[in-house]
Amino acid sequence: MTYNSDAWLASNYTYDPATGLFLTVPAAITVPAASAVQDPETGVWTVRPGTVTLQITGTI
């Protein structure tokens, strides 16, 4: 399992193999703030949302 391409510690989540229930602990996933840029010529604003990637792999 990786979080933003880094190995994610088991202390950040719980998993029940009997039910398949996966839960993260509070505040384990934090999303950075969005950014906004205004085009100086057109005045158009572009907003880029903050993102994270959580990749879970395994066998079903």
Q: What is the pLDDT of residues 3-58, one digit of tens each?
A: 999 999 999 999 998 998 999 999 999 999 999 999 999 999 999 999 999 999 88
- Return the number of other C-beta atoms located less than 10 Å from residue 20's C-beta: 9
Asked whether residue 8 is domain-assigned, the answer is yes
Determine the Cα–Cα distance for residues 56 and 3; give it in Å rounded to an integer.
9
How far apart, in whole angstroms, are the C-alpha atoms of residue 50 and residue 47?
A: 10
Question: What domain range includes position 12?
Answer: 2-55
Judge whether 60 lies within some domain: no
Cα(8)–Cα(51) distance, integer angstroms = 16
pTM for the model stands at 0.68
Total domains, the chain = 1
32 falls within a domain: yes
pLDDT above 80 (res 60):
no
Indicate whether 6 belongs to any domain.
yes
Contact 58, 2 (CB under 8 A): no
Answer yes or no: is 28 within a domain. yes
